[in-house]
Structure 1
Amino acid sequence: MIDLINALGKNYYYFAAIVLFLIGFHTMLTHSNLIKKVIGMNIMETAIFLFFVAIGYINDRSAPIVDGTPKTFINPLPSALILTGLVVGVSLTAFSLSLIMKLYKYYGTLDADEIMRIRSQEE
């Protein structure tokens, strides 16, 4: 048991990423409000970003910035990929929120269950 606690203490960022992902996943599954679903999706996205950055981090290493002294560096690739992921995530959030605004104007509600009920009555 002590070994498990030591392993969690040493790799707390992996544990934090898993907890964040589960919070976002739970939010997406249990709430029918579309805004809350988008927030849950963003929490899941943040957890994935944290996980990838944590993979690229190595203790006692520095950022890959040349300052004249040879050092060992961390891997910059996960951080570069996360920058691209952030742009895609913000774009996806903006697009989702614009669609939610259109749905609210048309149906008058943000509840996904209510929208499905209204759609089934229209057919």
Structure 2
Amino acid sequence: MEILMSVIIGVLTTIGVYLTLRARTFPLVMGLTLMSYAVNLFLFATGRLSIGQPAIITDTASGYTDPLPQALVLTAIVISFAMTAFVIMLSLKAHAELGTDQVDGHRDEENVA
């Protein structure tokens, strides 16, 4: 289970970095979203992966999971949603003003000619 989680986190991070380094705004937004998913999975995995264990300690429970990573992931989901909405609106405004979706604001040479 740990190997699968680490591979998934690595793949999401790799794809996110690749898309972030593209010169277009939509791949940038998708790359940031995938990297935030990778961070959420990493935070969730820091609480030790255990299946079928409650997050609240009771007298009858044989064990429990750490609720702190779950709370951190919930907070990170809310923050990443707000960040994604802001970046989408920022890229739409830049596209409307500049007329291109290039990150640096320059048009492609093939579109200018």
Q: Which aligned runs of 4 or more in structure 1 are off by greater than 4 angstroms? A: none
- Paired AA for residue 85 in structure 1: A
Which residue does 1:4 correspond to in 2? none
Partner residue, 1:86: 77
CA-CA distance at 1:14 after TM superposition: 1.5
C-alpha deviations, 1:9-34, integer Å up to 9, x for none?
652201210121011001111x2111
> Normalised by the size of structure 2, how large is the TM-score?
0.83
2: distance between equivalents of 1:26 and 1:110? 17
- Output the CA distance in 2 between the equivalents of 1:64 and 1:76: 6
Cα 1:66–1:12, aligned 2, differ >3 Å: closer, same or farther? same
Note the residue ranges of structure 2 that are not aligned, 5 or more in a row: 108-113
Larger radius of gyration: 1
Higher share in helix: 1
CA root-mean-square deviation: 2.0
Q: Aligned in 2, Cα 1:60/1:97: closer, same or farther, shift over 3 Å?
A: closer
Q: Secondary structure at the match of 2:50?
A: coil
1:64–1:104 distance in 2 versus 1, CA, 3 Å: same
Which residue in the other structure is 1:6 paired with? none
Residue 62 of structure 2: which of 71, 89, 93 is its match?
Answer: 71
Output the amino acid matched with 2:50: N
Identity across aligned pairs (percent)?
Answer: 30
Decide which of 30, 35, 38 is 1:39's aligned counterpart: 30
Q: Distance in 2 between matches of 1:28 and 1:50?
A: 19
Corresponding position: 1:52 with 2:34: no
